[in-house]
Amino acid sequence: MSHLSPPTLTDAEQRTILHATRRNLRDHLIYSLALGTGLRLAEIVGLNVGDVYTPDGRPRARVRLRPEIAKGGRAGDIFLPDALVVKFRRFWSWKCRRREGVQPSDPVFCCRRRISPRRVQFAFRLLELELTHDW
């Protein structure tokens, strides 16, 4: 019988991805969020500012997943590891400097408007090619 569970990234592969994206704050946070919480891509790109931040811009340690972005329409909570809370603090400042929306209903991750799952997949594929290509 073939391998039933999906392949996972090793610790070294995770460190490599995070190191390679350290200069792109948005992509780095997307990958950190996926690795640190296990959220699905649709859940990550569906997050609104109010889901992750308090009205005064502080990251929440407990993030509520709205039913419309959660798999199967089931709302739930995730807890952000301390390292992710620090990254979200930095990200708030970055969003403000870029004049991205910081209202509760605005998307957390933008690319002119809410970033699409396809855009994240494409960015990951480019990163994968960059990391595996021998120059």
Indicate the domain borders of the chain: 13-130
* pLDDT given for residue 66 in this prediction: 95
* pLDDT given for residue 54 in this prediction: 97
Q: What is the pLDDT of residues 5-64, one digit of tens each?
A: 667 888 888 898 899 889 999 999 999 999 999 999 999 999 999 999 999 999 999 999
Q: What is the pLDDT of residues 99-133, one digit of tens each?
A: 999 999 999 999 788 999 999 999 888 888 888 86
CATH class of residue range 13-130: mainly alpha
**Region for 99 from its dihedrals, namely left if φ exceeds 0, alpha if ψ lies in -120 to 50, beta otherwise:** left
Q: Give the pLDDT band (50/70/90) at residue 3.
A: low
* pLDDT given for residue 8 in this prediction: 80
Find the mean pLDDT for residues 73-85: 94
Entry pTM: 0.86
How big is the CA angle at 50 (ends 45 and 52), to the nearest 5 degrees? 65
Cβ burial of 98 (10 Å; 0-12, 13-18, 19+) is exposed
